A and B are shown apart, each in its own frame.
Chain A
Amino acid sequence: MNLVTPDSGLLFWMILIFGIVFFLLWKFGFPVITGMVERRGDYIRTSLRHAAEAEEKLARLGEEQARLIEQARQEQGRILKEAAHTRDEMLARARSDAQEETQRMVEHARVQIQAERETALRDIRRQVALLSVEVAEKVLRKDLEQTPEQLSLLERMVDEATHAKDN
């Protein structure tokens, strides 16, 4: 029975000592430790969250970078294509311009040549007329006066002759 009968003296001392130790540790022991460890736990948790956030941000940055590079490359391609296109266009325009100019010049030259020829022909005709008049004069020095009626007659005749020749 000794074994299972709680002894009053030991009960008294146990309650006293356990109470004092519990009070001291409750006031100055356990809450300090658990509080600090919980604070550290919170700190670690927030640190982990921040790290995850930073990693995510970094990943997003990398993505952004890749996207920017891709965009730049596309832009480059576009610009290059545009440049090539512009060059081709300019070349084509220059070529057509040049062709037009040449044509215009050729036309102009042709017109000028035509005019020159006509002038020359007219000169020649006049010369021919004058010559013929001179010749006729020389032939008919005495009876043929150098009058305008005669000259126009002559000219008409030369014209007829030329026309006949042209036709």
Chain B
Amino acid sequence: MTRPARILLCLLLAGLSAPGLTTPLAATAAEGQASAEEAPSASEDKVDVAGIIFDHVLDAYEWHLTEWKGRPVAIPLPVIARAGDGSWHCFSSKRLEHGASYEGFRVACAGEPHEGKLVEPRPDGTLRRPLDLSITKDVLSLLMSSVLLLLVVLLTARWYRRHDPEKDTPTGLAALMEPLIMMVHDMARENIGEEDYRRFSPFLCMAFLFILFNNFLGIVPFFPGGANLTGNIAITLVLALCTFFTVNLFGTRHYYREIFLPDVPGFLKPIMPVIEVFSALSKPVSLTIRLFANMLAGHILILSVVCIIFIMAKYGPLLSGSMTVISVLFGIFLDALECLVAFIQAYVFTMLSSIYIGLARAKE
């Protein structure tokens, strides 16, 4: 399925309950089910699919785990912010629950600017966005996946330090990681060239494993995973900017000549640099959007399919039962597809980065 088609389908599925886009709180699955049993025809008990989905794919100040006896169970995370007067504030996100204000901060409600973000109401009623360095759900997920990545790679490196690779074959973790790392390393050699691929291979390995780990953790639906990290544009933007700076800081004289003084007929000379600069700038943008949109679409797709079960709950046991079976089957298919996409997107990002670096390292 192509990317635009997938996004379209997601939006279609998400739009099943379009008014939900503006409702403030995500109706939980349990609530939806309970209300469906009590009053099947009541329109105000509609399952807020968009709310559920965006609650899952967007960043949050707390890590919502589950519902227990109608009350949300969440891990409170530290909020770190710099107020307008220059003072730093650090407190638990528990203080901001249900739109409460604390130390002059609150989370903006739906309809307000900066919806869902920490804001600082000014005396004149406008909302100011403070410098917000909170450890959000995505930051915590990033921390955990980074620790995991560090552990895995350093343990693999330790295996190689402790063994003579000419005598032992890798076992365990090293055997698992070696093909992945060597795949990227060989990709770097192919695309960058024999001369200096060793300089860029660590960055490509890092980007590949980082995306791969976070993609897979994103598919896991419960606590350590589940954060939509690679479907967050800030993360993919940083990754793409790393590629952009690597490409342009290590570009050869030849690469820059191709941009600013290309060997083209005279009348094209003033136009080509403009086109080339735009092409150079569009590369990180396409890298950012590709990874972000693919992972976001995957999350939205799976969540939508799961939500179908709760939407159908009020249409009687036969319909809801059969739709549940279909949803579960489709969910299994989508999860398998997402595993594939998780790998493919990591691979594509790394592959394109290596090709861009290879082009920038071109000799005459």
Which A positions have Cβ atoms within 8 angstroms of B? 2-15, 17-18, 20-22, 24-26, 28-34, 36-37, 39-40, 43
Q: Which residues of B in the span 163-185 have a Cβ within 8 Å of any Cβ on A? A: 165-166, 174, 177-178, 181-182, 185
Q: Is the CB of B59 within 8 A of A10?
A: yes
B237 at the interface (CB under 8 A from A): yes
Q: Is the CB of A21 within 8 A of B201?
A: no
Q: Is the CB of B181 within 8 A of A33?
A: yes
B97 at the interface (CB under 8 A from A): no
Q: Is the CB of A26 within 8 A of B202?
A: yes
Nearest Cβ distance between residue B317 and chain A, in whole angstroms?
Answer: 36
Given the interface contacts A30-B153, A33-B160, does A14 sit within 8 Å of B235 by beta carbon?
yes
Q: 29 pairs across A/B with beta carbons < 8 Å?
A: A2-B115, A3-B54, A3-B57, A3-B296, A5-B233, A6-B233, A7-B132, A8-B132, A9-B131, A9-B132, A9-B134, A10-B59, A10-B232, A10-B235, A13-B133, A13-B142, A15-B238, A18-B146, A21-B150, A22-B206, A24-B150, A25-B206, A26-B206, A29-B156, A32-B160, A34-B181, A34-B201, A39-B166, A43-B165
Q: How far is the CA of A29 from the CA of B161 in the complex (A)?
A: 10
List the B side residues contacting A10 at CB < 8 Å. Answer: 59, 136, 138-139, 142, 232, 234-235
List the B side residues contacting A25 at CB < 8 Å. Answer: 149-150, 153-154, 202, 205-206
Q: Is the CB of B182 within 8 A of A34?
A: yes
Q: Is the CB of B157 within 8 A of A26?
A: no
Given the interface contacts A6-B233, A26-B202, A28-B154, does A43 sit within 8 Å of B166 by beta carbon?
yes
B116 at the interface (CB under 8 A from A): yes
B interface secondary structure, majority: helix
Given the interface contacts A9-B132, A9-B139, A10-B138, does A37 sit within 8 Å of B165 by beta carbon?
yes
Q: Is the CB of A17 within 8 A of B205?
A: no
Q: Is the CB of B150 within 8 A of A3?
A: no
Say which residue of B134, B182, B242, B296 sits within 8 Å of A18 (CB atoms). B242
Q: Which residues of B in the span 115-134 have a Cβ within 8 Å of any Cβ on A? A: 115-117, 131-134
Q: How far is the CA of A64 from the CA of B178 in the complex (A)?
A: 45
B347 at the interface (CB under 8 A from A): no
List the B side residues contacting A13 at CB < 8 Å. Answer: 133, 135, 139, 142
Say which residue of B58, B132, B177 sits within 8 Å of A3 (CB atoms). B58
B329 at the interface (CB under 8 A from A): no
Q: Is the CB of B165 within 8 A of A14?
A: no
Q: Using CB atoms, name the residue of chain A closest to B177.
A: A33
Q: Is the CB of B237 within 8 A of A33?
A: no
List the B side residues contacting A33 at CB < 8 Å. Answer: 153, 156-157, 160, 174, 177-178, 181
B356 at the interface (CB under 8 A from A): no
Q: How far is the CA of A134 from the CA of B150 in the complex (A)?
A: 157
B143 at the interface (CB under 8 A from A): yes
Q: How far is the CA of A25 from the CA of B136 in the complex (A)?
A: 25
B203 at the interface (CB under 8 A from A): yes
Nearest Cβ distance between residue B331 and chain A, in whole angstroms?
Answer: 23
**Contacts A6-B237, A9-B139, A37-B181 known; 4 new A-B pairs at CB < 8 A:** A14-B238, A18-B239, A33-B181, A34-B185
Nearest Cβ distance between residue A45 and chain B, in whole angstroms?
Answer: 12
List the A side residues contacting B142 at CB < 8 Å. Answer: 10, 13-14, 17
Q: Is the CB of A2 within 8 A of B116?
A: yes
B210 at the interface (CB under 8 A from A): yes
List the B side residues contacting A17 at CB < 8 Å. Answer: 142-143, 146
Q: Is the CB of A9 within 8 A of B146?
A: no
Q: How far is the CA of A9 from the CA of B118 in the complex (A)?
A: 11
Q: Is the CB of B58 within 8 A of A21?
A: no
Q: Using CB atoms, name the residue of chain A closest to B135.
A: A13
Nearest Cβ distance between residue B237 and chain A, in whole angstroms?
Answer: 5
Nearest Cβ distance between residue A5 and chain B, in whole angstroms?
Answer: 7
List the A side residues contacting B131 at CB < 8 Å. Answer: 8-9
Given the interface contacts A17-B142, A39-B166, does A11 sit within 8 Å of B153 by beta carbon?
no
Say which residue of B136, B146, B185, B232 sits within 8 Å of A21 (CB atoms). B146
Q: How far is the CA of A59 from the CA of B137 in the complex (A)?
A: 68
Q: Is the CB of B201 within 8 A of A6?
A: no
List the A side residues contacting B174 at CB < 8 Å. Answer: 33
